[in-house]
């Protein structure tokens, strides 16, 4: 079942996304921005994500530092993997 758009939280900020991922928020999809070479990290439960991000910027959120680094590396791998696949697909279409 597709998630209603109003309940999704989107960010292009890798720090926010890594924090949410570390906080066990469900990453629904990685969405390409059609206007740039960037991606949107799309999470379920907009209200909870906004609450966590608020705590993040207030420096009131606590997560394990190693898990945060692991999450950031995982998300980067997802983005760069997607970009590599797109490049391969473009070469194969030529």
Question: Is the pLDDT assigned to residue 2 strictly greater than 60?
Answer: no
Q: Where are the domains of the chain?
A: 5-93
pLDDT digits (tens, 9 = 90+) for 64-82: 999 999 999 999 999 999 8
> Model-level pTM?
0.85
Mapping DSSP to helix (H, G, I), strand (E, B) and coil, where does residue 32 land? strand
Give the pair of three-digit tokens for residue 50. 């906004």
What's the Cα-to-Cα distance from 52 to each of 16, 58, 62, 90, 94, rounded to whole Å?
A: 9, 10, 10, 38, 45
């Amino acid at each position: 079942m597709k998630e209603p758009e109003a309940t999704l939280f989107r960010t292009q900020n890798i720090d926010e996304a890594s924090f949410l991922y570390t906080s066990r928020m469900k990453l629904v999809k990685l969405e390409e921005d059609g206007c740039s070479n960037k991606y949107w990290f799309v999470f379920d439960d907009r209200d909870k994500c906004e609450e966590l991000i608020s705590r993040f910027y207030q420096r009131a959120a606590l997560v394990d530092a190693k898990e945060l680094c692991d999450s950031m590396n995982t998300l980067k791998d997802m983005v760069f993997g997607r970009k590599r696949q797109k490049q391969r697909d473009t070469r194969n279409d030529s």
